[in-house]
Structure formats: structure tokens, C-alpha cells
Amino acid sequence: MKYKSTRGDVNSITFKDAVLMGLADDGGLLIPEELPQISNEELMSLKDKSYQDVAFYIMNKYIDDIKEDVLKKLIDKSYKNFDTDKVVPLIDLDDFYLLELFHGPTLAFKDVALQFLGNLFEYILSERKQNLNIIGATSGDTGSAAIYGVRGKKGVKIFILHPKGRVSKIQELQMTTVLDKNVFNIAVEGTFDDCQFIVKEIFSDVDFKKKYNLGSINSINWARVLSQIVYYFYAYLQTKESDNLDKINFIVPTGNFGNVLAGFYAKKMGLPVNKLVIATNENNILHRFVQKGDYSIKGVVKTYSPSMDIQIASNFERYLYYLYDGDHQKVKGSMAALKNDKFIKFNDLEIEKVHQDFDSTTTTNEETLNIIKTVYERNNYIVDPHTACGVDGALKLKDKLDEKFICLATAHPAKFLDAVKVAIGKEPEIPERIKELFNKDKRVYEMPNDVNAIKSFIEQNIDE
């Protein structure tokens, strides 16, 4: 399989090159040249296979420049750090299924992709005798999952900026208790926006970027999308519906459109999916898009589900490419319009096409708390506020769509204690691996909100 850019000026590159390139050199996103298909027979042959086996089967269709036994080893290694053999267990709550994606080291779904990406980086870099220096800003979840993905990996260093005192206690501990030599936590005297600004400034210095082979680990990397396609297949195979190849719906708490995009690929490959439902919180640009073709950027509001407090969904461009039937010029035009005018307009035909695959819902803060309480009372099960947006959406659409829902549970409730406590009057049980963090040694570098100071700190600690 070869890869190309959504904007048409990068073509025919290998999987490994696509992984190292991250963002395509023409500013677009990398996508596979074809969509591999999976027949019903193939699907059924995966029925009783382990997560790792399903992962190998799916990923191997997209990767032809890594030997099969090597790919198998990378997959096995990536899912060893999950606390259950199933990796992503499916729970049947009668009204709907829940897919628990939070059994990785940082208790959020990003581990599924970042554990794999870390091993993949290490493998490709050692083969090419290269070093990679990852620099990123985090408001909490991505940073910790990225750090756990690359800790101790050869050839990789990671510098993660977080706003000092503005991430949750657990998120802070998850990052700062990682003492591996290749991990640098920088607590910036400022906000998350300040951190992001600093990272952007550093990346805009093209000489610096080239000299130190800077990379990012954000959700636009193709390998992240690819590793997420796997669990749509695996989840489906665990349902009763799969015995007769009946269709199901997926509902996905969405921010950057990375997770639900993986579902779109699974559907296009032939997985029996009726609708992929995009669940949003009050930052509902994607809901407005699906319902009325209104993709216009508004201000970001703070909610109980901070990892979905996003207005510009960085993976949306990949979907645009398919919506526009592969018309690169149209993709470029729309992305330019978004930058200049802060909106993209869609016509009725396009919206009709969107509705073949997607539906959407939006959930207020108040509804988030209510649903956490409802699920707790009805099922004695505690969902986190992100997952709650999905469950709320599933219940809202229950009468419109006949097929059963799989709700993607994207974080463990212990990560978002405060909202859960408000909703049900008590804290969820805290897993052992979180409790242990409170007694561990920490390492964090406190820095002023100053690009040059941080850049020179990075320069002193970086590998050429």
C-alpha cells in the first residue's frame, strides 16, 4: 500500500515514510491510495481471534513495507501494557453496548494508538539510524498518552509542555512521574494556548526543525488512525448481531475527528455498520455540519469533557477528500476557506452523502451530568463525561435508528473525578495504577512563558 496527500502534491510514499512524515509536506494529510476490502467470509474467520490477531489482519492490509513477523511483534508489544487480555472489552448494558477503550496505561483511548505508534517509531528509527525529537503541548490527555507511548524508546526524545497548575492532578502525576531519560516535562507559567503558541513558534523555525528532526505525535499521524480502525472490527465481532452479520451503529465522542474517522475507514472496508454517530458536547461544530452543512468555527467553551473542547477538527480534511470524491483542488479550496473565512459551505447533495454514513448529536453540560447519574442508577456502571456524551446521543437516537448501538467509552471515570462526583455524589473507584502515582518521584522543568527560554532548554537536551 502506498500513501498520498489529500492535497495531491505528495504521492506514492511508503507506509514507513508516511509515519515519519506525520503532516504531509504539502500541508495536507496522508491517506492510503486505496481502501482495502474485507469480505464477509474474511470477517467471520476473525470471529474468535484475539485482539492482536485482528489487529495484525487489518493493519497488514495497509502495510507492505514491514515484514509480517516484525509487525506481529510490534503489535504484541504494544498491547502488553493493557490491564486486560481483551485489550478493549465490550460490555452489554442491554440498551446498548459499551466498548471500554480505557484499559491502557493512561486510562484513555489514545493509548490504543500511541502505544503502537511509540513502538513503530522506535523500529523505523533504528532501521534508518535516525533520531526523532517530539515536541508537543497538552491540556492533559494527549501528553500523558504520548509520554507513555515513547518512554524508554531508543532514538526518540519527547518534550511535552503543559500549563502549570492547569491540568488535573491525576493528569499531572501521569506525566511527571515518568522518569525515563528521554522524557522532558515542561510546566509553563501560562495557559494551554500559550503552550500551543510556543510549540507552533518552534515548529515554524524551519532550520531548527530540520536540524533536530522535530516531529509531533498529534492525531493526524496515519498510524494512529490505522490502529483505531482495528477496534471497530474487534468490537463488532464481539456482538450478538455479528452472528448473522446484522448491522450496528457506533456512537463516538468526538473532538479532532480522529476516532470516528477510523470508524469511517472500517465502514468503507466493508464492516456492517449502519450509522457512525458523531457525539459532541457544547462545542458542536461537527453536529452542525452533519445536521445542516454548517461548518463554521465559533469560540471554544469549557465543558466537563475537555478532550472534546475543540473547534477545528484536525482530521476532518481526510473525510473531506472522500466527500469530494478525491478532488484535491476542492479539498485545498475548502481548507483555504476555513482558514480565511472560518467556515466551509456544503450543498444539499454533499449533505445527503454525509448522511449515508453519519448522524450526530450534541450534549449539554447538564445532560452530561444527568446521563452519568442515569447510567449509574440503571446499570450500576459509571461512565466518564466524554463517554456520557455518547451514551446521551445513543438514547436520543434510539427511536430513530433500529440497530443496536456500540458506545465508545473513551476514558476511565477516575480521570474525571470532579464531574463524576457532582453527578452521582461520590467518586468512582480509583484503579491501583493511579493510586500508585501519588507516592512516586517526579521530574518536571518549570519554565517561564517565553519561547526563547524554552527553545534553548530544548536545544540543550536534544539529540542531533
Ligand X SMILES: *Cc1c(COP(=O)(O)O)cnc(C)c1O
Q: Which residues are catalytic?
A: 110
Separation of alpha carbons 236 and 260, rounded Å: 15
Which secondary structure element, helix H or strand E, spans residue 350, and what is its range? Answer: helix 348-357
Residue 305 C-beta: closest distance to ligand X, Å: 7
Member of 78, 256, 360, 361 binding ligand X (CB under 6 A): 256
Nearer of residues 221 and 256 to ligand X, judged by Cβ:
256
Query: Least distance (Å) from ligand X to the CB of residue 64?
Result: 26
Cα-to-chain-centroid distance, residue 146: 11
Work out how close the CB of 389 gets to ligand X at its nearest, in angstroms, rounded to a whole number.
Answer: 9
Check: CB of residue 382 under 8 Å from CB of residue 375.
Answer: yes
Please say which residue, 28 or 258, places its beta carbon nearer to ligand X: 258
Contact 143, 175 (CB under 8 A): yes
Instruction: Kindly state whether residue 308 participates in binding ligand X, applying the rule CB under 6 A.
Output: yes
The CA distance from 142 to 133, in Å, is 16
CB of 357: closest distance to ligand X in angstroms? 16
280 lines the binding site for ligand X (CB under 6 A): no
The footprint of ligand X on residues 400-459 (CB under 6 A) is 410-411
Count of residues in contact with ligand X, rule CB under 6 A: 17
Q: Locate cell 455498520: which residue?
A: 273
Does 259 participate in binding ligand X (rule CB under 6 A)? yes
- CB of 141: closest distance to ligand X in angstroms? 4
Q: Which residues contact 54 (CB under 8 A, 6 or more apart)?
A: 46, 230, 233, 234, 237
Task: Give the per-residue contact string, 226-255, with ligand X (x = CB under 6 A; - = no).
Answer: ---------------------------xxx
390 interacts with ligand X by CB under 6 A: no
Query: Interface with ligand X by CB under 6 A: which range of 178-186, 256-264, 266-274, 434-442?
Result: 256-264
Taking CB under 6 A as the rule, does residue 58 contact ligand X? no
| Residue 56 half-sphere exposure toward CB, CA atoms < 13 A | 18
Cβ proximity to ligand X, 175 vs 411, nearer residue? 411
- Residue 390 CA to chain centroid, in angstroms? 15
Choose which of 4, 275, 386, 404 interacts with ligand X (CB under 6 A): 386
Which range touches ligand X (CB under 6 A), out of 108-116, 158-166, 184-192, 432-440? 108-116
User: Measured from the CB atom, is 177 or 219 closer to ligand X?
Assistant: 219
Among 79, 192, 250, 257, binds ligand X (CB under 6 A): 257
Question: Restricting to residues 127-156, which ones interact with ligand X according to CB under 6 A?
Answer: 141
How many beta carbons lie within 10 A of that of residue 352, not counting itself? Answer: 11
User: For the sheet containing 358-362, what is the strand order?
Assistant: 90-92, 97-100, 405-409, 248-253, 273-280, 358-362
Listed in sequence order, the residues at least 6 apart from 342 whose beta carbon sits closer than 8 Å to its beta carbon are 296, 297
Extract the C-alpha cell encoding 425. Answer: 455524589
What are the Cα distances from residue 11, in Å, to 33, 37, 297?
9, 21, 31
CB 218 within 8 A of CB 158: no
Q: What grid cell was written down for 206?
A: 524551519
Tell me if residue 318 falls in helix, strand or coil: helix
| Binding of ligand X by 115 (CB under 6 A) | no
- Residue 30 CA to residue 16 CA, distance in Å, equals 12
108 counts as binding ligand X under rule CB under 6 A: yes
Residues that bind ligand X (CB under 6 A): 108-110, 141, 219, 253-259, 307-308, 386, 410-411
